[in-house]
């Protein structure tokens, strides 16, 4: 118990003593001094007792009598020793008077000299240690041991914020802080102020109650103020929170946790806040009780029955954290909240060891992990790789490749793979019997499958594939983990085809060319060239077919065009055919034009180029990709003209 006293105002009295020096003026009425023998004789025969007395009065040192003759009649009296004596006497008289007054006061009014003994009080707890949530009392007894009344007693009690008041006696006139107006306390009078309630502070924390009493003794005109305080330790709580869950977990595997709330004391039923802190790598999937605030994962618990604990279950998973082991704890706390202050009642931590296992599954189609293009009749080449970049061993792994769309275009039965796997409908399955590493896949190992599936000439235009890997055990822990690969989309593009042919005779044997055949050096021969295009499964647009003109050839002119525009580009020295659109399923468009060829002596004995290789480019809107094709160059060999067979070699003009 601590007491502090504030004293009333006191006054100080200052005494000032003033002394004025005595001045004497010496006057001489004799203007002419004379010698008087009788006077000298009188002075000489002055009695010694009187002389000594005078010398003492005038403070004359006897040792100087022989050297100095002092005229006593002209000396001033020294007054300082006499004044000092008087002052000392007066001071002694004043001290005696003060002592008498003090004794009288002590005898007749003993309290006035010790007002702090007029009121005694303290702060009392039912126990030095309390349990949070249990009902307890705070008692403040007071007593007036003095012989005079104490007036205007007012008591102020500062109650800790963690203390919930159930009742208080007597009634307070204010509650923030609690203030009691007691009034007059007679000599020997006593009283109590009693608070009944519960502490809800955190365990192992101390809380202080402070009491201030203000009163005025009957024989004083001013008030006195005393302070007393005492602390109590919260050693236990009426509430318990527990958290249950797995000791070890696999990344991406769903885990279940349960929070249990209990109340062990009757009557301690107040609203509480449950708060859950999860590791940074944990993602909440679901909870059987929706949190009040998902960001902070907190729940308001209105009440906890003492005979029926409350349970909250939730599920979630740990994310793959770059294959690093982690056991960051999960923390659950339950607290009493009052005036925005949170007083924790119980705390529990649970650490789940997340295995350093990082499995990844990748699917590659025609060299792409996303979208790709394939032509009818080509093979679809696939690679499926399961990687274990962690430390733990994966066991009993099963790979499944599923054709989600477009299986009508794939000849799955005609596949070839390392290994082939087992076909099950529109899926292909591999396990430990097909590939040893699927039985036991250690850390830093890969399991890979290569596969080729032919495409049919007809069928769906779009193929969608995806793979899955199921794992039965990781690090010796049974699991039902399933990994899903990236999804790949293969678009079957239009198989654009271009043809180019040259003739001297038409199909009926009539000459459509001009000039000598076989061609002669330094002579011009005209040949007829035909181009055609055919689309594929989709409509094509923005097509352009071009071919450079060889060194010995020149443009001969357009013969016919069924679609588009055909012409000669003199700047680039090439033939150019353009079409806005090439519909799927329609007759191929055709253009016919003439080319002049003039060999030289250097060409004798060989074939001469009529038109160079042609290239066509277009765009497939359905596949969302560009398409292209080429047509071979044509020479005077004319392989498509049976009438001109063996008549293409250049001859010397003189032959």
Q: What is the pLDDT of residues 261-291, one digit of tens each?
A: 998 877 667 789 999 999 988 999 999 999 9
Distances (CA, A) of 497 to 85, 374, 455, 592, 638: 146, 15, 18, 17, 21
Q: What is the pLDDT of residues 356-402, one digit of tens each?
A: 667 889 999 999 998 888 888 789 999 999 998 877 888 899 999 99
Size (the chain), residues: 655
Q: Please state which of the ranges 72-76, 118-122, 155-159 shows the lowest mean pLDDT.
A: 72-76
Indicate whether 30 pLDDT > 60: no
Per the structure block, which two tokens stand in for 527? 């040949």
Q: Which helix (H) or strand (E) holds 330?
A: strand 329-338
Identify whether the C-beta of residue 257 lies closer than 8 Å to the C-beta of residue 264.
no
Per the structure block, which two tokens stand in for 631? 């047509």
Calculate the average pLDDT of the chain.
83
Looking at the DSSP bridge assignments, the partners of residue 163 are: 199
Per the structure block, which two tokens stand in for 100? 């008498």
Indicate whether 35 pLDDT > 90: no
What would be the CATH architecture of the domain defined by 359-492? Answer: Sandwich (2.60)
Q: Name the DSSP class of 569.
A: E
Identify the residue with better confidence: 73 or 531.
531
Q: Give 503's pLDDT tier (boundaries 50, 70, 90).
A: very high
Label residues 19-36 b or e (16+ Cβ within 10 Å = b): eeeeeeeeeeeeeeeeee
Q: What is the pLDDT of residue 377?
A: 79
CA distance 231 to 471: 60
Neighbours of 622 (CB within 10 A): 16
Q: Write the DSSP string, 577-628.
A: EEEEEE-TTSPPPEEEEEEEE---GGGTTS--EEE--EEEEEEETTTTEEEE
CA angle 195, 198, 204 (to 5 degrees): 120
Q: Name the DSSP class of 85.
A: H
Q: Please state which of the ranges 82-86, 293-297, 580-584 shows the lowest mean pLDDT.
A: 82-86
Q: What is the pLDDT of residues 195-219, one digit of tens each?
A: 999 998 888 899 999 999 999 998 8
Identify whether the C-beta of residue 624 lies closer than 8 Å to the C-beta of residue 639.
no
Identify the residue with better confidence: 624 or 283.
283
CA distance 380 to 415: 9
- Residue spans in the chain of domains classed CATH 2.60.40.10: 115-237, 239-354
Q: What is the mean pLDDT of residues 540-552?
A: 96
Q: What is the pLDDT of residue 101?
A: 63
Neighbours of 171 (CB within 10 A): 9
CA dihedral sign, ordered 475, 479, 480, 481: negative
Distances (CA, A) of 400 to 9, 397, 456: 97, 10, 23
Q: Which of 132-136, 254-258, 376-380, 438-442 is modeled with the greatest confidence?
A: 254-258
Q: What is the CATH code for 497-644?
A: 2.60.40.1170
Identify the residue with better confidence: 188 or 111.
188
SS (H, E, C) 26-77: CCCCCCCCCCCHHHHHHHHCCCHHHHHHHHHHHCCCHHHCCCCCCCHHHCCC
Identify whether the C-beta of residue 332 lies closer than 8 Å to the C-beta of residue 241.
yes
Q: What is the pLDDT of residues 411-441, one digit of tens each?
A: 999 999 888 899 999 999 999 889 898 999 8
Q: Give 319's pLDDT tier (boundaries 50, 70, 90).
A: confident
Per the structure block, which two tokens stand in for 132? 């949070």
Instruction: Name the CATH topology of 115-237.
Output: Immunoglobulin-like (2.60.40)
Q: What is the pLDDT of residue 32?
A: 38
Sort 479 into a burial class: Cβ within 10 Å, 0-12 / 13-18 / 19+. buried
Measured in Å, how far apart are the chain's first and last C-alpha atoms?
A: 141
- Strand segments, DSSP code E, in 389-496 are 394-405, 416-418, 422-424, 427-430, 440-441, 445-454, 462-474, 477-484, 488-492
Q: Give 83's pLDDT tier (boundaries 50, 70, 90).
A: low
Q: What is the pLDDT of residues 238-253, one digit of tens each?
A: 889 999 999 888 777 8
- Residue spans in the chain of domains classed CATH 2.60.40.1170: 497-644
Indicate whether 41 pLDDT > 90: no
CA angle 525, 639, 564 (to 5 degrees): 75
Identify whether the C-beta of residue 164 lies closer than 8 Å to the C-beta of residue 133.
no
What strand order describes the sheet that includes 341-351? 298-301, 272-277, 329-338, 341-351
Indicate whether 647 pLDDT > 90: yes
Backbone angles phi, psi at 574, to 5 degrees: -150, 160
- Strand segments, DSSP code E, in 8-134 are 120-121, 124-125, 129-132
Per the structure block, which two tokens stand in for 252? 């991406």
- Global pTM value: 0.48
Q: What is the pLDDT of residue 390?
A: 75
SS3 143: strand
Q: Give 36's pLDDT tier (boundaries 50, 70, 90).
A: very low
Label residues 323-344 b or e (16+ Cβ within 10 Å = b): beebebebbbbbbbeeeeeebb
Q: Cis peptide before 177, with omega less than 30 degrees from 0?
A: yes
Q: Please state which of the ranges 15-24, 355-364, 437-446 shows the lowest mean pLDDT.
A: 15-24
Q: What is the pLDDT of residue 20?
A: 36
Sort 184 into a burial class: Cβ within 10 Å, 0-12 / 13-18 / 19+. middle
Distances (CA, A) of 256 to 253, 280, 282, 286, 470: 10, 17, 12, 10, 20
Identify whether the C-beta of residue 347 lies closer than 8 Å to the C-beta of residue 331.
yes
Q: What is the CATH code for 239-354?
A: 2.60.40.10
Q: Give 654's pLDDT tier (boundaries 50, 70, 90).
A: confident
CA distance 267 to 264: 10
Q: Which helix (H) or strand (E) holds 227?
A: strand 224-237
CA distance 441 to 393: 6
Backbone angles phi, psi at 91, to 5 degrees: -60, -40
Q: Please state which of the ranges 69-78, 302-311, 376-385, 609-618 shows the lowest mean pLDDT.
A: 69-78
- Residue spans in the chain of domains classed CATH 2.60.40.740: 359-492
Q: What is the pLDDT of residue 427?
A: 95
Q: What is the pLDDT of residue 461?
A: 86
Q: Give 133's pLDDT tier (boundaries 50, 70, 90).
A: confident
Identify the residue with better confidence: 285 or 48.
285
Q: Name the DSSP class of 309.
A: -
> What percent of the chain lies above the pLDDT cut of 70?
82
Q: What is the pLDDT of residue 44?
A: 41
Closest CA to 204 of 339, 337, 345: 345
């Amino acid at each position: 118990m601590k007491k502090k006293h504030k004293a009333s105002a006191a006054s100080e009295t200052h005494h000032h003593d003033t002394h004025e020096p005595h001045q004497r003026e010496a006057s001489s009425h004799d203007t002419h001094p004379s010698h008087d023998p009788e006077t000298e004789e009188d002075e000489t025969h002055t009695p010694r007792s009187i002389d000594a007395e005078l010398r003492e009065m005038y403070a004359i040192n006897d040792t100087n009598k022989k050297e100095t003759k002092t005229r006593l009649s002209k000396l001033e009296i020294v007054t300082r020793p006499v004044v000092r004596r008087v002052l000392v006497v007066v001071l002694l008289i004043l001290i005696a008077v003060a002592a008498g007054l003090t004794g009288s006061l002590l005898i007749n009014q003993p309290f006035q000299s010790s007002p702090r003994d007029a009121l005694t009080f303290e702060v009392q707890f039912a126990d030095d240690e309390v349990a949070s949530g249990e009902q307890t009392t705070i008692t403040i007894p007071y007593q007036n041991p003095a012989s005079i009344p104490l007036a205007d007693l007012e008591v102020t009690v500062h109650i800790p914020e963690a203390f919930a008041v159930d009742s208080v006696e007597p009634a307070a006139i204010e509650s923030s802080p609690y203030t009691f107006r007691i009034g007059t306390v007679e000599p020997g009078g006593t009283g109590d102020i009693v608070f009944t309630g519960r502490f809800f502070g955190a365990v192992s924390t101390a809380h202080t109650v402070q009491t201030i009493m203000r009163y005025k003794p009957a024989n004083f005109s001013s008030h006195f103020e005393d302070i007393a305080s005492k602390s109590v330790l919260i050693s236990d709580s009426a509430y318990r929170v527990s958290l249950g869950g797995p000791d070890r977990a696999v990344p991406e595997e769903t885990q279940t946790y349960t929070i249990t709330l209990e109340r062990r004391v009757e009557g301690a039923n107040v609203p509480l806040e449950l708060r859950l802190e999860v590791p940074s790598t944990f993602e909440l999937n679901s909870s059987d009780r929706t949190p009040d605030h998902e960001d902070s994962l907190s729940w308001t618990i209105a009440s906890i029955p003492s005979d029926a604990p409350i349970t909250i279950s939730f599920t979630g998973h740990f994310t793959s954290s770059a294959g690093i082991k982690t056991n960051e704890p999960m923390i659950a706390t339950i607290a009493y909240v009052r005036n925005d202050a949170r007083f924790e009642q119980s705390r529990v931590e649970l650490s789940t060891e997340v295995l350093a296992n990082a499995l990844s599954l990748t699917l590659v189609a025609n060299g792409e992990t996303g979208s790709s293009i394939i032509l009818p009749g080509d093979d679809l080449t696939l690679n499926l790789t399961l990687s274990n970049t962690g430390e733990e061993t994966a066991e009993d792994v099963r790979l499944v490749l599923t054709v989600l769309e477009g299986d009508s275009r794939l000849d799955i039965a005609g596949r070839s793979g390392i290994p082939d796997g087992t076909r099950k409908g529109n899926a292909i399955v591999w396990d430990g019997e097909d590939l040893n590493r699927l039985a036991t896949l250690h850390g830093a190992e890969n399991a890979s499958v290569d596969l080729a599936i032919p495409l049919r000439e007809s069928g769906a235009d779009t193929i969608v594939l995806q793979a899955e890997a199921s794992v039965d055990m990781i690090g010796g822990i049974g699991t039902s983990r399933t990994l899903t690969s990236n999804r790949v989309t293969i678009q079957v593009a239009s198989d654009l085809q271009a043809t180019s042919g040259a003739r001297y005779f038409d199909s009926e044997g009539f000459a459509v060319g001009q000039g000598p055949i076989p061609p002669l050096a330094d002579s011009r021969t005209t040949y007829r060239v035909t181009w055609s295009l055919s689309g594929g499964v989709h409509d094509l647009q923005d097509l352009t077919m071009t071919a450079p003109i060889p060194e010995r050839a020149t443009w001969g002119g357009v013969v016919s065009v069924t679609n588009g525009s055909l012409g000669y580009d003199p700047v680039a020295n090439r033939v150019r055919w353009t079409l806005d659109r090439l519909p799927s399923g329609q007759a191929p468009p055709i253009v016919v034009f003439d080319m002049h060829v003039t060999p030289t002596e250097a060409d004798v004995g060989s074939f001469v180029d009529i038109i160079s290789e042609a290239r066509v480019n277009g765009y497939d809107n359905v596949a969302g990709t560009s398409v292209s094709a080429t047509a071979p160059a044509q020479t005077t060999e004319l392989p498509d003209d049976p009438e001109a067979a063996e008549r293409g070699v250049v001859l010397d003009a003189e032959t």
